[in-house]
Structure formats: structure tokens, C-alpha cells
């Protein structure tokens, strides 16, 4: 049996209130592609961060070729031969492929001057060994996502990396690009390198990995050669038997159809069809990158719908901007609350009323006392905890910031509420309160469309589930007695696949 | 673990810090006034001089009001100086060719609005970056003003036109009255209308404002229109004060107006442009230039000091730590 190139021994990491890694053992061999899988919160990211020298482990050690190695910084990691290809590739957008590959590396000179031609030749040789060709005459910002990933890998390669860590490398790639990437991963393996690949996509695991390690709740569940385990078993390992429980049944009276979506497509997603009824939560199931946020943004008027039809009530609905959608009663709480949701430097009050300014104005003049009262009412309904509504939103906790987003949405009196990762980065207490708000809204007849990467959340909140897989429509099911196991299987299932 | 704010954290030092953040720039202004008054009580601290000073800064204050409104959204308007100069040229040409004072002023303000609308179209709708867009626009407007006048100064304005820039309303100079009017209008627009709330929301986070349903392009467009209007009013007052129109008379406004708004961002409203802060910024620059003149500091050194004081104000207010 090949000797392990990389070994992690009894790695332990605690965050306040969370045991992120609980004595994890892991090893990867030379000439091996090793997949690391697990649900969100299983500890995959923490593990990678420790190896990258971004966070320090509380206990445990890292061994390279059997020797204990201290990795306290990114520079240490590089010296140990580690390379990291993250989803954000950290490329210099305005530089070409060659300049990016050799960034931070001694550059070739001719007559004492930097020679771009020789740089390109050298880069060409790197890509030749991979069997790919990348245009070098244009800035990488104009390259396709797959080519950009190749550039990032090329950079790691010239830095003499021998252990490659890839985090969801195939997300955002077309199927052809994906094939190329997988071919490149194979080449790296043939050359004796080690590739550790974190992914949600289990089909990819079976396509490229030699072995797979499952993490769950900070513990290693096991490592198997991919030839000796099947997808269903793997899913069961990821979820664990304890978690295989049916969600609590929710009693709801389902109302009339509010939103009827017929074969809409745009931005690489669709065609998709479904209906949203008053008083129900419709979950959009699927994996990261399945196009769920894109779908919500189309419904919210933030992205263009290219084809298909939407009916809202009995009228055609085709919002051109988020403002149009809001006026009709469709409100989005976007995924990135800091980037897309809040003006962090403005007050809680200003952030709460921003979608409803007209309601608190007469002939364009603000009626601030009315606005303040309404903001505080909506805030208390959304359980916002703040010393003052004049306080700057930045000073609130993540959970409270998210509740400000809910308060804003409540003020718009939505008929349909679109929620994109409503509890991302929110602590447990606030999460419960947000679930409570969602339940109250559906009780009042609001139709909710929910996207979340947490299976548990999807199963707890949804009445029905529509699945997306790589932008295409999958199954539509009632959330009755579904387990997390069923859910994950549905994520991988096309609309016509057999059970 | 993060503790709740309040309680132990908010000692007296924090209150002092917050006090200085809000009122520090105003204190700096008071300090400058007291300093120059003590240095030259005979010349600086005279009613006549102070009235003259306010009259001098009025034109810059009017133009800065509009620039401040654009900067609330996080944009920039480098073209104000050119728009003010061009407005003066348009007005003078109309007056010289026999158009009545009132219609000439009205037409000039409309022209200012139209010019602002062009800026707004280029930046808010066509998506050119504000810096490049208004820089290019500035070049064209200056060229237009030079073309209309053939590079010369327009003289021969009707005597009655003097009142706008050199007259008095009771004891108060007319430019000051106009300045107060523009500043109050700006204050009301920014602080008391849905329009102002939208502008601040856009400045806070443009993408978030868009997703929150705000028509960000329209709001930014109208901020530029407003800036065009105030620039042309400023140009009208300036033309009357100089009683002639030069195609580059208001050129220094380009940077001075932005500097005044930046200074004003350090006052009253934490890190955001605001109507009264901008006036304070203009007054600080006016007092500096007037006071240093009286004390006898070289004009060129005055510029050096003005720049240094702007940096100092930004550093002291903690504005520098904010991103963007």
C-alpha cells in the first residue's frame, strides 16, 4: 500500500459553542485523488483552513511524508507543497494567464529585461503538460470559468505544489469545462501529485476520486475506496442514522394559487415550472450551484427572464426591476445580507423603511414619526434587538441584521416572500425566531419560496419541494415523511429518473 | 465572544470620541475664527470683513450644495466649475443680445438643468464611471464656453443685473440670501424627502438599494440634474459679482466644491455628505483663505495649507478608517 503523503492526526478545533473538528484523522497518498464530503457544518472548511494555515488547530498534528510539519501561515503551507484552489480563484483580473501563473515567481529575463514572450512560452509548456491550451493574449477576466480554474491550477503547479486542495472546483463550469478539469486532475494524479477535493457533488466524487472520506459533525465517519461504496450508502454516511427523522408535521391551510410559473428560463437556469399557494412554504431544493438563487432573482425582478410566463393572481407578471416586483407584492430577502441587503453605515430605521418610503411620505416629504413608529413595530414583529433604531446596522449581530431584513420585508406587506438562505450566519437562537416569523407569515396567507443549503431547514419549513439540478427542473414532491436521505437523493435526480 | 454594546464599553472616553466626531469640525472652524480674530482683531474681526467673506464664499457654497447631493450617492461631479462658467457665459450672451434679466436667468437655470441631465444620462443610465464621465463632460463644457466667447470675457451687462451679486436685501448681501435659500432647499431635499432617503440608501450600498426596490438610476440622474441647477445658479451670481463672464471664471470650483463636501462629511452626520456640513466646509476654506491673506501668508502657501488641513480633518474625524 502506498505511503501517505499527507496525514492529519487527531485534529481538534473548537469555536465558541461549536466543536468544529473532534479528533479528525485523515490521510492522502501520492498519486491519489481523495474526495472530502459531508453536509454543511461537517467540518470540511475548517479542516482545509487548518491545512492552509488560516486557522490554528487546538490539538493534533499535520504530517508530510511522515514528518510533523507546522503550518502557521499561508507561506508555511506553500513551503510544504500545499496549493489551494478556492472557488474565488484569487487571480489578478487585468493580467493575462501567463502573468497570473507566474505571479510571485521569478520572471524570465532577456538582456536584463522582463521578457513577456519567454514568460508565455514557459506558461505554454505548463499548460502543455496538462494537455490544455489557454489564450494568453487577453486578461483573465475575459476567460471562461473553466479556463480561469486552469490558470489557478497552473499557478499552483509552477510553485512546485504537490498536494492540491480544491474546494468545489467544478461549480460554475459547463459540462465540457468540467471534463477538461477532470482530465487535468487525472494528469496531476498520474504525475504523482495528491489531490484533495471538497465537493457537494457526489456524482463527481465517483467520477474522479480514488477514495472518499466522510465527515459529519466534526468527526471522521470513515474512508472508503470509491469502488467499494455506492452513492446511497455514502449519503447515509453523510447524514447518519440519528438524523434520519421526519420533520415535525406543520398544520397549514393551503390557499389559492398566488404565483404560477410556467417554463421560465434565463441566466442559464430553466425551463422551470411550479406554483406557489397562499400560506405555504415552497422549498426550492438542490445543491449549491443548481441555480436556485438565480431562480429567486428572476422572480424578484433582479435578473431577466428570457422565456416562459409567470402569472400572479390572474394577471401576467414580468417584473423588470426589483421595484416593480415589490410594488406587486413580491419581496426578496437576498442571500448576501451584507453585500446585497443592508446599507451597513445607515441606521436600523433607515434600513427598515428603505423599501416602503412612499408609504411614509406626503408629496415626497417624509413623515418620519410615522415611519419610525412603523419601523419599530415591524422590528418588534421581527424580534429585532437593538438599543436604538438610530443605531448603525453594522453594530448589530448577524442574526439581528437578518431580522432587520425581515422587518424591512414585513413593512412591504408582501404577498409572496422570496427567502434566499434566510439563516446563513445566524446563531441558533435567532434561527428559531426567524422560523417563527416565517410560520406566522404563512399563517397570515403569505406564500413563501425558500432556498437554503441546510437540508434540515428545508425539511422543517417546506410544505412542498421543487428540485433543481444543474439549472434544470427535477422532481416536485410533497414534504411528507421525507428524510434527509430522501432529500439528498432528490437533489441528484432528474425529472425522469427512476427511483 | 462578543459582549453586548453598552455597559462597560461606553466609558467617558468613548463619549468624548463621539462628541469630537460629530462636533470636531465645527470646533476647528470656531478655533480658526478665534485664532484670526486674536491675531488681527483690527482687520479680521470686523463686521465688514466677515460680511465680505461670506459674500465671497456664497458662490462656492451654492455650487457645493449640488456636488454634495451627487456625493451622497457615492458619485462625483467634477464638471461643476465648467457648468458654472458656461452658465455665466450663456447668461451674459443672452443679456448682451437684449434678452430681459428674468427670462435670461430662467433660461440659464434651465440650461444648467439640461447639462446636469446630460451628466446624469452618461453616468446613471449609460453606466460611465462618475469620475471619467464628469471629467470628459467638464472638458466639453469648457470648450463650449470658450467657443461661445471666442476665449474672451463678455462685458456690457445691464446695470440692474448688479443686484444679484452685489446688492443687499435689507442688511444682507443678495448672494448670501440666495446661498441660504439653496442650502435650505438642499437640506430639506436630503433630510426630509423620499428622494433624499433614496440617495443616502444608494450611497450606503447601491446594490442593496436596487434590490430593496429603489430606482437607483433615476435617483442618481436627478442628483446630477440638481447639481447642474446649483452650478448654474452659482455661475449667475458669480457673473453678477464680477459683472462680466469669463469662460473659465468658476474653474477652481471643480476641486474646491469637492473639498468642501469632504470637509463637511467630517461634521454632523457620521461620514456622509450633508447640507450643513458642506456649508461648514465652504466656510472653513473661506476663513482660511481670508484669514491667511490678512495675516500676510503667501497665496501659494495658502493652497499648501488648505490641502494639509483637509487631510488633517479627514484623519482626525476617523473617516479614513471607513472603506471607500
Tens of pLDDT along A408-444?
A: 999 999 999 999 999 887 776 778 889 999 999 999 9
Interface of B with A (CB under 8 A): 1-2, 5-6, 192-198, 200-201, 203-205, 207-215, 270-272, 322
Question: Among candidates A466, A99, A19, which has minimal Cα distance to A286?
Answer: A466
Residue A350: which of B194, B200, B322 has the nearest Cβ? B200
Q: What is the mean pLDDT of chain A?
A: 86
Q: Check CB contact of A113 with chain B, cutoff 8 Å.
A: no
**Mind listing the pLDDT tens digit for each residue in A36-66?**
988 766 888 888 889 988 888 899 999 999 8
Task: Identify the closest residue of chain A to B1 by CA–CA distance.
Answer: A16
Contacts of A181 (CB under 8 A, 6+ apart): A146, A149, A150, A169, A170, A173
Q: What is the mean pLDDT of chain B?
A: 89
> Tell me, what's the pLDDT at A253?
56
Q: What angle separates helix B101-120 from helix B216-242, to the nearest 10 degrees?
A: 140
Q: Is B296 left (phi over 0), alpha (psi -120 to 50) or beta?
A: left
Banded pLDDT at A133 (limits 50, 70, 90): confident
Give the gyration radius of chain A's Cα atoms.
25
> Tell me, what's the pLDDT at A52?
87
Q: What angle separates helix B174-192 from helix B275-295, to the nearest 10 degrees?
A: 150
> Tell me, what's the pLDDT at A432?
83
Q: How many Å apart are CA B178 and CA B233, to the nearest integer?
A: 9
How far does CA B255 lie from the centroid of its chain? 10
Q: Check CB contact of A334 with chain B, cutoff 8 Å.
A: yes
Half-sphere exposure of A62 (CA within 13 A, CB side): 21
Residue B1: which of A16, A322, A325 has the nearest Cβ? A16
Contact call for residues B236 and B251 (beta carbons, < 8 A): no
Question: Among candidates A339, A340, A298, which has minimal Cα distance to A317?
Answer: A298
* Contact list, B207 vs chain A (CB under 8 Å): 339-340
- pLDDT above 50 for B147: yes
**Mind listing the pLDDT tens digit for each residue in A151-167?**
888 888 888 788 999 88
pTM: 0.77
Q: Return the domain boundaries, chain B.
A: 41-251
Q: What is the ipTM of this complex?
A: 0.83
Residue B213: which of A326, A350, A397 has the nearest Cβ? A326
Mean pLDDT (whole number) for B125-129: 95
Q: How many Å apart are CA B247 and CA B231, to the nearest integer?
A: 14
- pLDDT above 70 for A496: no
Mean pLDDT (whole number) for B246-255: 92
Residue A313 phi, psi (nearest 5): 70, -120
Q: How many Å apart are CA B220 and CA B226, to the nearest integer?
A: 10
- pLDDT above 60 for A108: yes
Q: Check CB contact of A365 with chain B, cutoff 8 Å.
A: yes
Banded pLDDT at B22 (limits 50, 70, 90): confident
Mean pLDDT (whole number) for A186-215: 90
Q: Look-up: residue for cell 442628483?
A: B223
> Tell me, what's the pLDDT at A267?
84
CATH 1.10.3470.10 is right for the domain spanning B41-251: yes
Q: Check CB contact of A393 with chain B, cutoff 8 Å.
A: no
Q: How many CB pairs under 8 A join A and B?
A: 88
> Tell me, what's the pLDDT at A299?
95
Nearest 5°: the CA angle A281, A284, A288 is 140
Banded pLDDT at B243 (limits 50, 70, 90): very high
> Tell me, what's the pLDDT at A104?
75
Pairing state between β A211-216 and A32-37:
parallel
Amino acid at each position: 500500500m502506498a505511503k501517505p503523503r499527507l496525514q492529519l492526526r487527531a485534529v481538534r478545533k473548537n469555536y465558541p459553542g461549536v466543536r468544529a473538528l473532534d479528533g479528525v484523522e485523515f490521510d492522502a497518498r501520492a498519486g491519489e485523488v481523495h474526495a472530502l464530503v459531508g453536509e454543511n457544518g461537517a467540518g470540511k472548511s475548517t479542516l482545509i483552513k487548518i491545512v492552509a494555515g488560516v486557522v490554528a488547530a487546538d490539538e493534533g498534528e499535520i504530517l508530510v511524508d511522515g514528518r510533523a510539519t507546522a503550518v502557521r501561515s499561508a507561506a508555511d503551507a506553500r513551503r510544504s507543497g500545499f496549493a489551494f484552489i478556492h472557488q474565488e480563484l484569487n487571480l489578478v483580473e487585468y493580467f493575462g494567464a501567463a502573468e497570473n501563473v507566474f505571479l510571485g515567481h521569478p520572471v524570465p529575463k532577456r538582456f536584463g529585461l522582463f521578457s513577456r514572450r519567454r514568460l508565455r512560452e514557459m506558461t505554454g509548456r505548463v499548460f502543455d503538460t496538462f494537455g490544455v491550451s489557454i489564450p494568453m493574449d487577453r486578461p483573465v477576466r475575459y476567460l471562461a470559468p473553466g479556463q480561469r480554474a486552469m490558470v489557478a491550477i497552473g499557478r499552483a503547479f509552477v510553485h512546485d505544489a504537490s498536494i492540491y486542495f480544491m474546494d468545489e472546483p467544478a461549480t460554475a463550469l459547463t459540462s465540457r469545462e468540467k471534463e477538461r478539469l477532470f482530465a487535468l486532475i487525472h494528469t496531476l494524479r498520474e504525475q504523482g501529485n495528491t489531490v484533495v477535493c471538497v465537493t457537494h457533488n457526489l456524482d463527481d466524487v465517483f467520477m474522479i476520486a480514488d477514495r472518499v472520506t466522510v465527515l459529519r459533525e466534526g468527526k471522521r465517519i470513515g474512508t472508503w475506496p470509491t469502488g467499494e461504496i455506492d452513492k446511497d450508502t455514502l449519503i447515509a454516511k453523510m447524514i447518519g442514522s440519528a438524523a434520519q427523522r421526519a420533520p415535525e408535521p406543520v398544520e397549514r391551510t393551503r390557499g389559492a394559487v398566488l404565483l404560477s410559473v410556467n417554463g421560465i428560463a434565463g441566466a442559464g437556469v430553466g425551463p422551470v415550472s411550479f406554483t406557489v399557494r397562499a400560506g405555504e412554504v415552497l422549498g426550492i431544493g438542490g445543491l449549491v450551484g443548481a441555480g436556485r438563487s438565480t431562480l429567486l432573482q428572476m422572480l424578484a425582478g433582479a435578473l431577466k427572464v428570457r422565456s416562459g410566463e409567470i402569472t400572479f393572481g390572474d394577471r401576467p407578471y414580468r417584473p423588470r426591476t426589483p421595484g416593480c416586483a415589490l410594488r406587486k407584492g413580491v419581496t426578496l430577502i437576498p442571500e448576501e445580507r451584507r453585500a446585497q441587503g443592508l446599507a451597513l453605515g445607515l441606521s436600523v430605521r433607515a434600513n427598515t423603511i428603505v423599501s416602503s418610503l412612499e408609504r411614509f411620505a406626503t408629496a415626497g416629504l417624509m413623515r418620519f414619526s410615522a415611519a419610525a413608529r412603523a419601523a419599530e413595530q415591524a422590528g418588534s414583529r421581527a424580534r429585532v434587538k437593538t438599543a436604538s433604531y438610530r443605531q448603525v446596522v453594522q453594530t448589530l449581530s448577524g442574526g439581528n441584521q437578518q431580522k432587520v431584513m425581515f422587518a424591512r420585508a414585513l413593512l412591504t406587506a408582501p404577498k409572496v416572500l422570496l427567502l434566499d438562505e434566510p439563516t446563513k450566519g445566524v446563531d441558533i437562537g435567532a434561527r428559531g425566531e426567524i422560523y417563527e416569523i416565517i410560520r406566522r407569515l404563512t399563517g397570515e396567507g403569505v406564500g413563501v419560496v425558500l432556498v437554503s443549503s441546510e437540508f434540515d431547514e428545508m425539511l422543517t419549513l417546506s410544505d412542498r419541494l421543487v428540485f433543481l439540478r444543474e439549472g434544470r427542473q427535477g422532481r416536485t414532491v410533497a414534504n411528507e415523511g421525507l428524510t434527509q436521505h430522501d432529500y439528498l437523493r432528490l437533489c441528484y435526480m432528474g425529472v425522469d429518473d427512476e427511483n | 465572544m462578543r459582549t453586548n454594546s453598552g455597559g462597560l464599553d461606553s466609558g467617558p472616553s468613548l463619549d468624548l470620541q463621539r462628541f469630537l466626531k460629530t462636533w470636531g469640525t465645527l470646533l476647528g472652524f470656531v478655533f480658526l475664527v478665534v485664532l484670526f480674530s486674536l491675531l488681527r482683531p483690527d482687520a479680521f474681526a470686523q463686521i465688514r470683513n466677515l460680511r465680505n467673506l461670506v459674500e465671497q464664499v456664497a458662490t462656492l457654497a451654492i455650487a457645493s450644495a449640488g456636488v454634495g447631493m451627487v456625493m451622497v450617492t457615492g458619485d462625483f461631479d467634477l464638471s461643476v466649475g465648467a457648468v458654472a462658467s458656461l452658465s455665466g457665459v450663456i447668461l451674459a450672451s443672452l443679456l448682451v443680445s437684449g434678452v430681459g434679466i428674468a427670462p435670461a436667468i430662467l433660461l440659464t437655470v434651465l440650461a444648467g438643468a439640461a447639462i446636469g441631465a446630460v451628466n446624469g444620462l452618461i453616468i446613471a443610465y449609460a453606466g460611465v464611471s462618475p469620475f471619467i464621465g464628469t471629467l470628459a463632460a467638464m472638458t466639453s463644457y469648457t470648450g463650449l464656453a470658450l467657443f461661445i466667447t471666442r476665449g474672451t470675457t463678455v462685458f456690457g451687462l445691464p446695470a440692474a443685473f448688479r443686484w444679484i451679486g452685489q446688492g443687499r436685501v435689507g442688511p444682507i448681501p443678495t448672494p448670501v440670501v440666495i446661498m441660504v435659500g439653496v442650502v435650505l432647499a438642499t437640506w430639506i431635499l436630503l433630510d426630509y424627502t423620499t428622494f433624499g432617503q433614496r440617495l443616502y440608501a444608494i450611497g450606503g450600498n447601491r446594490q442593496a438599494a436596487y434590490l430593496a426596490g429603489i430606482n437607483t438610476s433615476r435617483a442618481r440622474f436627478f442628483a446630477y440634474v440638481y447639481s447642474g441647477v446649483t452650478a448654474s445658479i452659482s455661475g449667475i451670481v458669480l457673473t453678477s459679482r464680477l459683472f462680466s463672464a469669463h469662460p473659465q471664471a468658476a474653474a477652481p470650483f471643480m476641486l474646491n466644491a469637492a473639498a468642501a463636501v469632504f470637509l463637511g462629511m467630517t461634521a454632523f452626520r457620521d461620514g456622509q455628505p450633508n447640507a450643513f456640513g458642506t456649508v461648514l466646509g465652504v466656510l472653513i476654506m473661506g476663513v482660511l483663505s481670508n484669514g491667511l491673506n490678512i495675516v500676510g501668508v503667501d497665496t501659494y502657501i495658502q493652497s499648501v495649507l488648505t490641502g494639509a488641513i483637509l487631510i488633517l480633518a479627514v484623519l482626525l474625524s476617523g473617516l479614513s478608517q471607513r472603506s471607500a
